[in-house]
Amino acid sequence: MATLDVRQDLAAGLEPFERIIAAVGELDSTESLEIIAPFEPEPLYAVMTDIGFTHETKARPDGAWHVTFRRPD
């Protein structure tokens, strides 16, 4: 699984969307991508669904959101 923590990008006022899409492009067909964000990245769900991914979301006690995107089996 590839992991991309976008909390520092967002804290610096940067949009991490291009980094996320680049990371998706580097995945092989069996890999998943975990995004770590300071909030639930709901707008990303539709984008990832459109390109063939499902997601599982977990809110952590520290306030971080961990979202794992996978291609269906």
Task: Give the architecture (CATH level 2) of 2-70.
Answer: 2-Layer Sandwich (3.30)
Tokens of 18: 């291009």
Q: Buried b vs exposed e over 39-70: b needs ≥16 C-beta within 10 Å?
A: eebeebbeebeeeebebeeeeeeeeebebbbb
Domain ranges of the chain: 2-70
What pTM value is reported for the model? 0.93
**Tens-place pLDDT, residues 12-70:** 999 999 999 999 999 999 999 999 999 999 999 999 999 999 999 999 999 999 999 99
Angle in degrees, CA 22, 62, 58, rounded to 5: 55
DSSP-derived 3-state class of residue 50: helix
